[in-house]
Structure 1
Amino acid sequence: MSNGKRILLIIAGGIAAFKSLDLIRRLRERGFGVTPVLTPAAEQFVTPLSASALAASKVYRDLFDLTDEAEMGHIELSRAADLLVVAPATADLMAKMAHGHASDLASTLLMATDKPVLIAPAMNVRMWEHPATRRNLRLLQEDGILSVGPVEGAMACGEFGFGRMAEVPEIVAAVEAALSAGPLTGRHVLVTSGPTHEPIDPVRYIANRSSGAQGTAIAAALLALGARVSFVTGPASVPPPPGAEVIRVETARQMREAVFAALPADAAVCAAAVADWHVANAAGRKMKKDGSGRAPAFELAENPDILAELSRLETGRPGLVVGFAAETDDVVANATAKRARKGCDWIVANDVSEGSGVMGGTENEVTLITAEGAEAWPRLGKGEVARLLAERIAARIG
């Protein structure tokens, strides 16, 4: 429950604004106080009267309302709440936030606050996928802005894809997570994620199909339990979780350096799909065909074994080291042998054989290998796998 926490809810203009009324109702049912702020565009979709009635609170609309400035100025309003929530967060408002604009009440409040901010993006799929929006999201995440969604689905414009605002229960859960002191509060967890890219020449590289989705989900689940998360990620297609300390790398050797620089940690989860080899004779310039019909010869050298090095540290070893085993056959047997060989505490084994849909997909089917044996989990969404693993980690080190 809320323990009397107050939410400043900024409602931007967009068809998803109609969900904000249900969000107000659900938040108040959970015991939160809600103060709504409507942008001029939001008033095209919801009325100040309806928002005020559901919130049982005054609705703020105009930066230059002198009465409001006398009673509660925008600085005080921006800091009176425990959390600022922007739902829906339009592409326009995200751009203002990312670039520090303060041209209206909503953007000024977001600039002036010293409290955490959670956004629930909502926009057309093409707007969500636009490079400018992706850049703005990265900037906001680097600033520590939390986010929930968007999700995939049908949109009012008739298109289908990502950009639909997260459903109200998901936003409520994100609000509660942002304000909770979870079992991992005060704990530092290191998470690696994504693939590594091993250069062949300046334009080509060796890689794998990892999207980084599972590692990102694990980091987000750990953050929700209160952990401080150092997130070392290769070039993943999934954006990193907001709230984590993000360290971006390209190669396995860079990942190793970043991992050891992030220590000490209470736990380490090595979910990255690190390449086993790099090209020892990588070219300094783009290689070209010479007409001979012969392919260039690559000399492969082993990459550092980050999981094994972490597990065998004599000083500064994390209290819990978790590895991943992506296998195509004899999953449990190979993962059990890997745990013994690497010296880690747990191995999360998954079947990435052709047709499993795991590598780059939205679901995972894992077996948790510990000193006590193998525990098979049912096929679940990667977010649910992450939540269960984070809870196990919290039970072990919390």
Structure 2
Amino acid sequence: MLEVSAAREIVLRHAKRLKADFTALMSSSLGQVIAADVASDVDSPPFDKSLMDGYAVRAADVSPTAELTVVEEIPAGKMPTKTVGPGEAVRLFTGAPIPPGADAVVMREKTDSPSADRVVIREVPTAGQFILRQATEMKVGETVIPAGTVLTPATFGLLASVGKTTVPAYPQPKVAVVATGDELVEPNRRPKPGQIRNSNGPMLTAQVALAGGLPRYIGIATDREDVLRSYIAEGLEIANVLILAGGVSAGDFDLVPKVLKDCGVTAHFHHVKMKPGKPLLFGTKGDKLVFGLPGNPVSSFVGFELFVKPALRVMGGHIDPPTATQKLTLSEPFAANNNRPTYHPAKRDGDGVRGLKWFGSPDLRAMLDADAFLVLPPGEVNYAAGAVVEVLPINRTAS
């Protein structure tokens, strides 16, 4: 039975970045990763510009209560036509170009205007005051957005400022999700005796979306080889990644491993030394990745976070650590006794963390408040408040 780290290494060895393509800057491309450096085609600002509404002056000419002649007014979007000479000033507005001859801006609040063409300066400015020099933010030809940057609203704005309406980016992996089991019915149906509603389908679909993938829920495959085979074939046809929930253990109705093999999927491992989620299968068919997750919902959730999500991040071009744990301090005592390394639902609490009440792998309700897992070693643990523990964070919003 593989350790989690060894199993994850196998997954990441087979997860390859998808081929980059040009994508338009639309809301649907948020979260994608830029595949090539982007350089500026302009200086920004393109000229020395004012950071305030006020007056452009020659700092050396100004003394307290100096009265200057206003020779021009420059709003944003207009270029100056005159040079500021001795005893002169130019009225300008935030964002306007600094006229030749001026080397400082005095805020309007520090002035008085006895007439339209005269201004009294009530402070002595320093050279360079309230002036943003040309190309301070970026220069022509300078790389302003490196490859590996995630498309965010700020990235959209910066790309627009350098004239980019499309950008080379890695596509979001397409992920097909299939739930399996005769006992399952869709959430909009009331279960009959012996049935339960399908929670894995909606849950995994949401996890895929938060991890940066494009989910496609196919449906519930019943425990028949022909039905399962058709769902698997469809998933492999339409997606880069196929996720099946349930049917991967060793029971008479756990048909997923056999049918995957019949469909040409090579299994690289089938069991992982962890709790919950020991019966977890990973396989490939060509460049397609296949994950068989356990049917119990928390087992499926943990398996996704540990193995599927890192693969999706790599395929989508992300450069962040695929599954990074951190050390946090327990805010409450915690005790447990497990026969395998265990991922226990937890809630981060400021700089600390506390374990949540949890009844095991079927207990999805415990995940409602969870934003992390305590990563517990096998055997008995009895931690006092203040103990430092290993924690696997969970993203509850898109990353």
TM range (shorter): under 0.3
With structure 2 as the length reference, what TM-score do the two structures score?
0.27
Structure with more of its chain in strand, by fraction: 2
**RCO higher in 1 or 2 (8 Å CA, sep ≥ 6)?**
2
Structure with the higher fraction of residues in helix conformation: 1
Structure label with greater radius of gyration? 2
